[in-house]
Structure 1
Amino acid sequence: MAVVGAGITALVAAGVTFQTANASEATTAAPETLSVTAAGKLASTLIGDLGADAAGTYYDAQAKSLVVNVLDERAAQTVEEAGAQARIVENSLADLKSARTTLAEDATIPGTSWATDPTTNKVVVTADRTVSKAELAKLTKVVDGLGAKAELKRTKGEYRPFVAGGDAITGSGGRCSLGFNVTKGGEPYFITAGHCTEAISTWSDSSGNVIGENAASSFPDNDYGLVKYTADVDHPSEV
């Protein structure tokens, strides 16, 4: 079954290589070192304080800091005073929402998906190998019409999500739930929560057998984690 629309944002983000955003870095004091939980709470507070001046957030796992996209210097100052890193970007959340609406209305094509990527400040559109030349031409025209608000990627794989059973998975003393099984490039993966994969990189089943390692992770803005199976275990499409 092909994935269409914005519902499976995790698949889109996992299937593309992101480019550097067209954004400027605010030059001020270094942001505070934050845990994933603390960053999530701060993000919620800042989004409320900034209103329409907030243009997306994400957690920089390497720097252990919260990054907040904003539209002007005043908003950047508010972010920095709160202990986060500010990035002045071009597109507002309203701009990106409008782009997604256009895609839904004009480019809902089987084998495609899209998601708002805060690291690029764009809607990233991905088409898998099942998309025909005619469909790709139509999709390209729509994406080009969105200008700097969107970019188009291709993947050699085929979007074929499966329903997972919600089994418990563990790692590093933590516990989470397997969301659902997917394939990427013909290889088996599963989706789980990003707040889990930010803290845990190797996963085991309920019996303690190692079954997979992280392939991609995003939190707090897009809360998803993609894990690649490393063990020869069954991964049925069951609830």
Structure 2
Amino acid sequence: MPRRRRHGLDLIAGCTLAIATLFLSTGTPAAADPGDPTHGPRREIPPGMLAAMQRDLGLTADEAKTRINNEYQAGAAEPGLRKSLGGSYGGAWVSGNTAELTVATTDRGQRGTITASGAQAAVVDHTLRELTSAKEALDQAAEQRAPAVDAASAWYVDVKSNSVVVQAANTAGAMDFVAASGADRAVVRVVQSAERPRPLYDLRGGDAYYINSSARCSVGFSVTQGDRNGFVTAGHCGDPGDTTTGYNRVAQGSFQGSTFPGNDYAWVETNNNWTPQPWVVGADNTNVVVSGSQQAPVGSSVCRSGSTTGWHCGTILQHNTSVRYTEGTVNGVSRTNVCAEPGDSGGPYISGSEGQGVLSGGSGDCTRGGTTYYQPVNPILAAYNLTLTTD
């Protein structure tokens, strides 16, 4: 196979306690009794939030409205109670479907101050300041890579249990981490947990990715192959086995198949940190939904997304074109008058909401205009037995 060319214009490679803030939209009013002065004004709930609360929290519509209203009132009352309790303040939380407010204090004599406000009082051993100080010691130890830090998967101030909780699969190792941090052991609890948090990133057509930590191309379309996730892109961007990192330089995946010249397509399998989404990056970083891959006829409008020049549109001039690059001939591509530049390679073309293909190459630039060619997406899907991710 001729050596892949990764730069140049003839082949556009580019491989170069928190309470929710409520409520800003109109919707169904909350269910507080307008005649009850303890509830204050009604809160308005976005309809989508109301439906999601019913579904995910197992509430009726009236319960969801009541809960939202009470949560808002609790959030409004908590700062004043925190100030009144001063150094004895131990935190606050709401509980139950009606979101009843509980406020904690280390001073038994302050219970009346709390109950007079309509909240429940809890007398605890440790102030919120003590809990926060222990958590900060753990944070600092983690930044300094303290011994056994990797044994812990998460740690947090848990006001309801009046402790700092450290989650870990290896509890003995986590105890070593706590000891190394110097945190007050009296306020720290280590609990068994199989949870292994990981960062989550979206795969979007048009975003940058890097090949072997250096050259850059653009994601085409998100795809799946059984239980494997990934994306399609241009074949000239990488060879099978080449590794990729995402737009944020986080490990992403590796090329599983690649053909160039002859065709110009490839697919990259990604790791579990990356979630395939039915989107391509549109103007102003908006998400343009992909609903299918029906081929648009000659003369149709088509837009392209790429990590160098972003979102540009034009028309499809011809299908079934053969184009001659220095590396060899690529057959079966579509010709357009959409501009592109190095780094845009592999990025998606879309007509309406139908995916069309991935950028192969071209001439010109997005200052003077130019001609570009895309490898149709359906042959890529068929070649690797892939399924396009759609909405």
The TM-score range, normalised by the shorter chain, is 0.3 to 0.5
Q: TM-score, normalised by structure 2?
A: 0.31
- Which of the pair has more CA radius of gyration? 2
Q: TM-score, normalised by structure 1?
A: 0.48
